[in-house]
Amino acid sequence: MNFEYNQDQLAIQEMAKNFAETEFAPYASEWDQNEIFPVETLKKAAELGLAAIYVNEKYGGSGLSRLDAAIIFEELSRGCVSTAAYLSIHNMVTWMIDSHGSESIKEKFIKRLSTMEIMSSYCLTEAGSGSDAAAMKTSASRKGNSHYVLNGSKSFISGGPTSDVFAVMCRTSEDGANGVSCLLIEKETKGLSFGKQEKKMGWNSQHTSTVNFDNCEIPIDNIVGNEGDGFKIAMKGLDGGRVNIAACSLGGARAALDASLSYAADRKQFGKSIDQFQATQFKLADMATELEASRLMVLRAAASLDLKDIQATKYCAMAKRFATDICSDICNEALQIHGGYGYLKDFPLERLVRDLRVHQILEGTNEIMRVIISRKLKGN
């Protein structure tokens, strides 16, 4: 077991760090306050191979590992958690097509997704079936041998009307989870519409809306995998998504810790800097320890995906539950160290607290993570 990054990983880390510092961090506050979706900046990230990180190089992907991706998303999130998180969702869709799509569908979509000529959204959640994804109502029926007709709606969709292609999990039969399929819907499809842009607590640099389907005709070739494979594809995607979102929490918490170390060294109270008070020292020590523990869990989970470990789903759920809870706490402690200044938008702390809070909800709530872990402990 080696706890050090190899030379390639160090180079990848440095690349992501530099990009975050120059292209994300200086603009993150503006994007947040003005709800700007930084499409052009995301395309710059794509030029570095960050839109198809663990996708086959044959189609324009970077051919990297899940461990590499975790390193990348931690570094990007130090610059802007919200924008890095959208990039992780886009990567999930690109990976689904690469891993389960036909040759024709790969040729049609992946090269354009890898450059972010087109942007993508992942559509699983519905208003009436959040954590119970298998209970979804959105459905598609066959129209001859050429098309599916899709009806229904999906909620809380990152990308919303800004995206160009939507990976939609929908019911193609009544066989429970085995009746779910994955269809790719393109933006110009007749009957596709969007709800209002949601006003959110955080994640404001990515637009979020409901996506509606009213008799949308989808070419039958736009299915990812086979009919009935959708739920399995969705769950595999969520394993990776949970690691990525946990890695985004690491980056946010690390940014909060770095800001706290700097602030505590400069801030004077009672004639000395506050980092000389044991109360502050203990807070900083706990934050650093908890961040390191979270990172180890995230990297273990990422490595388990690369190794195709049979326990990967458990490790991913554990990492997501632990890291998103703990890193949210770290950001909250960092705000406390900053006192009243931490509550101001002039400082990054309040944004980090808001952006990390949703990580405990999406990609499966942390309560659902506990259900998954407990089932795996029983051998289910």
Domains of the chain, residue spans: 7-115, 120-229, 231-377
272-273 vs 268-269, strand pairing mode? antiparallel
Which two structure tokens, joined as six digits, stand for 75?
């570094």
Residue 321 vs residue 132, higher pLDDT: 321
User: In this model, does residue 203 exceed pLDDT 70?
Assistant: yes
pTM for this prediction = 0.95
For the segment 141-163, the average pLDDT, to the nearest whole number, is 95
pLDDT score, position 177: 83
Residue 8's closest CA among 79, 76, 85, 71?
71
Q: pLDDT tens across 230-242, in order? A: 999 999 999 999 9
pLDDT on residue 53? 98
1 — pLDDT class (breaks 50, 70, 90): confident
Q: For the residues 147-166, what does the mean pLDDT come to?
A: 96
What average pLDDT does range 248-256 have in this prediction?
98
- Provide the token pair at 356: 């990390």
CATH 1.20.140.10 fits 231-377, yes or no: yes
Topology of domain 120-229, CATH: Butyryl-CoA Dehydrogenase, subunit A; domain 2 (2.40.110)
Res. 334: pLDDT tops 80: yes
| CB neighbour list of residue 343: distance below 8 Å, 6 or more residues apart | 335, 349, 350
In the chain, which ranges are E strands?
120-123, 139-143, 147-158, 165-171, 180-186, 192-194, 208-219, 223-224, 268-269, 272-273
> How many beta carbons lie within 10 A of that of residue 82, not counting itself?
28
CATH classification code of 7-115: 1.10.540.10
Kindly tell me if the per-residue pLDDT of 185 is higher than 80: yes
Is pLDDT above 90 for 225?
yes
User: Using the 8-state DSSP alphabet, how is residue 22 labeled?
Assistant: I
pLDDT score for 3: 87
Catalytic residues: 363
Q: What is the mean pLDDT of residues 114-137?
A: 88
pLDDT-derived band at 2 (thresholds 50, 70, 90) equals confident
Using pLDDT thresholds of 50, 70 and 90, give the confidence band for residue 134: confident
Q: Please state at what angle helix 81-100 crosses helix 349-357, rounded to 10 degrees.
A: 30
Distance between CA atoms of residues 52 and 64, nearest Å: 9
The pLDDT, as a whole number, for residue 176 is 81
| pLDDT tens digits, one per residue of 53-105 | 999 999 899 999 999 999 999 999 999 999 999 999 999 999 999 999 999 99
Q: What is the pLDDT of residue 73?
A: 98
Q: How far apart are CA 301 and CA 314, in angstroms?
A: 8
Would you call 198 exposed, middle or buried from its count of C-beta atoms within 10 A (0-12, 13-18, 19+)? middle
Q: Residue 380 has what pLDDT?
A: 66
pLDDT in tens, 62-74: 999 999 999 999 9
Average pLDDT, the chain: 96
Hey, which bits of 228-359 come out as E strands? 268-269, 272-273
